[in-house]
Amino acid sequence: MTDQRQRHQHGVTKNIAEGIGGLITGAALVMLLRGLVKARSNRQPAPNNARPTTGDSA
């Protein structure tokens, strides 16, 4: 019979490593999306409906 303890410990280590990797990947994704949203909101031009006021009431 094989020793199941060693296989189980390897699985725990692998799960922990994958969990940490998932956290890092998730944090990077959030930062990327946040940067894209900020860049998009800064890029939107102001509406061109404002008329210049020259003092004439024409």
Instruction: Give the predicted TM-score (pTM) of the model.
Output: 0.52
The whole-number pLDDT of residue 13 equals 86
Note the pLDDT tens digit of each residue in 21-56. Answer: 999 999 999 999 999 999 888 876 656 665 666 666
> Where residue 12 falls among pLDDT bands split at 50, 70, 90?
confident
Would 18 be classed as within a structural domain? yes
Two tokens, residue 32: 């990327």
Would 48 be classed as within a structural domain? no
Would 45 be classed as within a structural domain? no
Please name the residue ranges forming H helices in 1-58: 4-43
Would 53 be classed as within a structural domain? no
For residue 16, give its domain range.
1-40
Domain count along the chain: 1
- Residue 55 φ/ψ region, left for φ over 0, alpha for ψ in the -120 to 50 degree band, beta for the rest: left
Would 6 be classed as within a structural domain? yes
Would 55 be classed as within a structural domain? no
Would 1 be classed as within a structural domain? yes
